[in-house]
């Protein structure tokens, strides 16, 4: 009899914990977030293949748009880049958890060559992507063509594809 009560008490605790967990997930999924912070990994090509990572911050602007700011490091066989990018995005498909968006922005940074002097550059960017929010985790996939307008260090047109993981914040 005593073992039966202990088993029932253990089962009741598990069911209670699962109920609280389910309620928390449903509540979090129902909320809309206005900010997101995380990382974006990117792979691209301008006349050399390159890869990098960025610290990423997004903030909603009104109901159909948002601003995204990225600061990161890229590297190829010919150069390393430290870069800041700002993009204004418009949500073309604006569901509670899913967004398809497009945007325009600019970037500036420092290109560092191994056997030459470092140099400043500036770019104009387009951005197309999708994101999905799972609880408080946002997963995003995007494509970003960019035109170098000051100090072309590869080719004038480059592009990258990125995958981002961000934490959504109220």
pLDDT per position as a tens digit, 122-156:
999 999 999 999 999 999 999 999 999 998 766 78
3-state secondary structure (DSSP) of residue 99: strand
Q: What percent of the chain has pLDDT over 90?
A: 58
Q: Which of the two residues, 111 and 62, has the higher pLDDT score?
A: 111
DSSP summary character for residue 136? T
pLDDT, residue 108, reads: 96
Q: Would strands 49-61 and 65-75 be described as parallel, antiparallel, or unpaired?
A: antiparallel
The residue written with tokens 């109920």 in the block is 19
Q: pLDDT for 85-104, tens place per residue?
A: 999 999 999 888 999 999 99
d(CA 165, CA 170): 16
pLDDT of residue 49: 87
Residue 112's beta-bridge partner residues? 80
Tell me the sheet residues that pair with 168.
Answer: 36
């Amino acid at each position: 009899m005593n073992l039966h009560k202990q088993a029932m008490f253990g089962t009741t605790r598990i069911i209670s914990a699962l109920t609280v967990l389910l309620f928390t997930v449903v509540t979090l999924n129902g909320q809309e977030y206005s900010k997101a912070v995380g990382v974006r990994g990117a792979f691209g090509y301008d006349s050399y293949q390159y890869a990098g990572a960025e610290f990423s911050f997004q903030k909603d602007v009104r109901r159909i748009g948002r601003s995204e700011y990225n600061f990161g490091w890229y590297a190829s066989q010919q150069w390393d880049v430290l870069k800041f990018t700002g993009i204004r995005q418009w949500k073309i498909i604006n569901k509670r958890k899913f967004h398809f968006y497009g945007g325009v922005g600019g970037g500036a940074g420092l290109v560092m060559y191994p056997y030459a002097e470092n140099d400043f550059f500036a770019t104009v960017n387009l951005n197309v992507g999708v994101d999905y929010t799972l609880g408080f985790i946002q997963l995003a996939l995007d494509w970003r063509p960019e035109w170098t307008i000051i100090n072309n260090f590869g080719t004038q047109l480059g592009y990258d594809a990125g995958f981002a993981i961000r934490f959504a914040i109220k």
